[in-house]
C-alpha cells in the first residue's frame, strides 16, 4: 500500500524540482518518485569502473569464493 511522505524543501530546491517536473510533464510527486527510484536502482549495481577494481583484488576474490562455497554447502541463513 502506498505511503504518504511529507518532504520539506528550501524554496530554491522546490522551484528547481517544480521546473524539472513541468519540463518532463510530471507532477512533482511523480518526478521525485521516478528520480528516487532511478537513483536507488543505479546505486544497487556496481559500475564497470568499480567492477574492474574488484577483478584484481585477491582478498575480495577469496571472500567471494568462500561465500560461493558456503552457498553450495547450504551453509547460510536467509534473514527477513
Q: Which three cell numbers stand for residue 67?
A: 561465500
pLDDT score, position 78: 87
Neighbours of 11 (CB within 10 A): 7
Q: What are phi and psi of 77, to 5 degrees?
A: -130, 130
Per-residue model confidence as pLDDT tens for the chain (80 residues): 889 999 999 999 999 999 999 999 999 999 999 999 999 988 888 888 888 888 889 999 999 999 999 999 999 888 88
Domain ranges in the chain are 9-45, 46-80
Q: Report whether 32 contacts 17 (CB < 8 A).
A: yes
**pLDDT at residue 48, rounded to an integer:** 85
pLDDT confidence of residue 59: 93
Amino acid at each position: 500500500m502506498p505511503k504518504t511522505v511529507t518532504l520539506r524543501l528550501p524554496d530554491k530546491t522546490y522551484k528547481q524540482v517544480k521546473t524539472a517536473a513541468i519540463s518532463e510533464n510530471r507532477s512533482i510527486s511523480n518526478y521525485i518518485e521516478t528520480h528516487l527510484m532511478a537513483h536507488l536502482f543505479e546505486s544497487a549495481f556496481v559500475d564497470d569502473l568499480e567492477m574492474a577494481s574488484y577483478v584484481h583484488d585477491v582478498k575480495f576474490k577469496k571472500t567471494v569464493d568462500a561465500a560461493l562455497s558456503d552457498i553450495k554447502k547450504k551453509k547460510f541463513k536467509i534473514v527477513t
